A = this chain, B = another copy of it.
Amino acid sequence: MGIGKTAFGAFADRDLRSLAVEAGEKCLRNAHAAPAQVESFYLGNFAGPAFVGQNHLAPYVSTALGIYGVPSTRIEAACASSGSAFFHAWTEVAAGVYDLVLVVGVEKMTSQPTARVSQILAEAGDCSGEMKVGSTFASLFAMIARRHMYEFGTKKEHLSMVAVKNHAAGALNPDAHMRKVITLEQAMKAKPIAEPLNLYDCSLVSDGAAAVLLAPLERAREFTAKPVRVLGIAQCSDYVALDQKADIVTFPAVRRAGEQAYRMAGVTPREIEFAELHDCFTIAEIVATEDLGFVEKGQGGPYAFAGCTALRGERPVNTSGGLKSKGHPVGATGVAQICDLVLQIRGEAGERQIERHSLALAENLGGSGATCVVTILGAA
């Protein structure tokens, strides 16, 4: 498995294609592979047409990487676009259809004003229902947070601690968008966005790209001295509209994808040593630690507040800084999570390297839970 990433941030002088190409080229170099060896290409991208006015993005990117002729396919699944692209690429390699498949995830968001960014993001929700009446993803996740507080006694400081923790990790990540340590007091007192969520409960609007090259296990050592193996993976789906869900403090697509991935990997949730979880909002990370079985339902808040998911905690979550600090270029996020897990598994995570780093999980969420991809990785 080869990996490549751009820095995440707000890059006024970079366009979507140059970001995607940078990540793709770094990935091919990392794997000592040539473009002509790639047998199928996937692009994960959420809203290139709306953000930068370009559609038909897969061949637009792949030909710029020097990849011709082969299938070149864009997958859109909201914030899980490149997680889904990775899932389908893995499926084709695992089934023996192709040997070498390159997956690039990319989003260029910062060229649009904030109000337009919110509108484009809202199109990942149900625009004939919840979004039509004025919801945003911040307000939907605020409702989830409120309900979680009501049912389980989750507190504002639990949410804020997730932000503090992810900023602390992201400050050590040279590719992170916002390398800034924050205190619990700062996190608690930030500008309200959709109460109980404030500015520090929300992930960043970023530009960036990430890439992964997949190969069958038996050929992995042609491309890397430190192969990483996909032990389990699943993509699951559910209602787009939050109001169609029976219970908003749990995501059935996450639970189901987790169960399938654990079964495929033959591991239990408690065995997972570290994870990248989809912290689009702080409450989303807390809910994910529950839905994925790291803790009992309702215990995610105290678990985070106690430091268990911190960089030096018992089960580090988002050692990259997560969407909160590393940044969230929507279509790049799923593949970026994979890259960050691979760095840790290989022992190449620099200042943020953790000690137990052989079994990891990535959870990439689309919308308010309509798409989820869970991947379990281990050293091969």
Chain A residues near B (Cβ < 8 Å): 15, 17, 41, 46-47, 49-50, 52-60, 62-63, 67-78, 84, 87-88, 91-92, 95-97, 120, 123-128, 235-240, 244, 252-253, 256, 366-367, 370-371
Contact = CB atoms under 8 A, between A and B. Distances in A.
A118 to B, nearest CB: 13
Contacts of A17: 128
B69 A253 contact: yes
A227 B331 CA distance: 39
Copies of this chain, count: 2
Contacts of A53: 123, 127
Nearest to A87: B71
Given A95-B97, A235-B73, A237-B69, A55 B124 contact: yes
B56 A124 contact: yes
Contact of A88 (B76, B88, B238, B366): B88
A253 B69 CA distance: 6
Contacts of A55: 46-47, 50, 76, 78, 120, 123-124
A127 B54 contact: yes
Contacts of A126: 54, 60
Contacts of A96: 95
Contacts of A58: 76-77, 237, 371
A78 B56 CA distance: 5
B97 A60 contact: no
Given A49-B47, A74-B76, A252-B69, A371 B56 contact: yes
Contacts of A253: 69
Contacts of A367: 56, 59
Contacts of A52: 127
A74 B77 contact: yes
The 8 closest A-B pairs by CB, nearest first: A95-B95, A72-B237, A55-B123, A59-B370, A56-B78, A71-B235, A56-B124, A59-B237
Contacts of A237: 41, 58-59, 62-63, 67-72
A235 B39 CA distance: 11
Given A68-B237, A71-B236, A75-B74, A56 B92 contact: no
Contacts of A54: 123, 126-128
A25 to B, nearest CB: 18
Most chain B CB within 10 A, of A17, A87, A91, is at A91
A271 B161 CA distance: 68
A84 B77 contact: no
A126 B48 CA distance: 13
Nearest to A234: B71
Nearest to A57: B76
Contacts of A124: 55-56
A366 B87 CA distance: 24
A151 to B, nearest CB: 24
A58 to B, nearest CB: 7
A324 B150 CA distance: 58
A60 B240 contact: yes
A138 to B, nearest CB: 17
A78 B48 CA distance: 13
Contacts of A92: 91-92, 95
Contacts of A128: 15, 17, 54
B56 A77 contact: yes
Contact of A50 (B50, B76, B236, B256): B50
